[in-house]
Amino acid sequence: MASVLIIDDDDVARAVLLRTLTMAGHEAVGARDGVEGMARFRDHSAHSPPDRPIDLVITDIFMPNQEGLATIMELRRASPSLKIIAISGGGARASLDVLPVAEALGAHRTLRKPFTPAEVMETVRAVLEG
């Protein structure tokens, strides 16, 4: 099973993703924003055996401190082969579709909120197998 980092400032959404992935047998850890997510990514990379890297990052786009597009770019620089899924509900103030930008920056797949656990698991499977 995969090691997955979930970065989302919405506590409920992050908890649901963590539970969904854990129940499917994956090792999942969460972070509240891109700054915390990058810290967890670096810490995991520094303290885990080389054969247990983070396999997948699922990141929201609109977050405080460091948003998802900047996080995707930073992850790409740190680990060019890392699998990334970008998620977004469109932003708090306007309906913005930045998911195509996330793909252009290196996200393998995107999901629009709200999504179902089944949609998450199908996307995770497709990205990990692809």
pTM of the predicted model as reported, rounded to 2 decimal places: 0.94
Q: Cα separation of 38 and 75, whole Å? A: 8
Give the other-Cβ count within 10 Å of 48's Cβ. 12
| Token output for 1 | 């099973």
Give the other-Cβ count within 10 Å of 82's Cβ. 18
What is the fold of 3-129?
Answer: Rossmann fold (3.40.50)
> Residues 48-51: contacts with CB within 8 Å, 24+ apart?
48/3
Q: How far, in Å, are 25, 55, 62, 71, 129 from residue 52 at the CA level? A: 15, 8, 29, 21, 17
What pLDDT digit, counting tens, does each position of 20-63 carry?
Answer: 999 999 999 999 999 999 999 999 988 887 777 899 999 999 99
What pLDDT digit, counting tens, does each position of 2-21 carry?
Answer: 999 999 999 999 999 999 99
Cβ neighbors of 118 (< 8 A, separation 6 or more) are: none
Cβ neighbors of 107 (< 8 A, separation 6 or more) are: 72, 84, 85, 86, 99
- Residue 76 has phi, psi (to 5 degrees) of -60, -40
Q: Is the pLDDT reported for residue 118 higher than 60?
A: yes
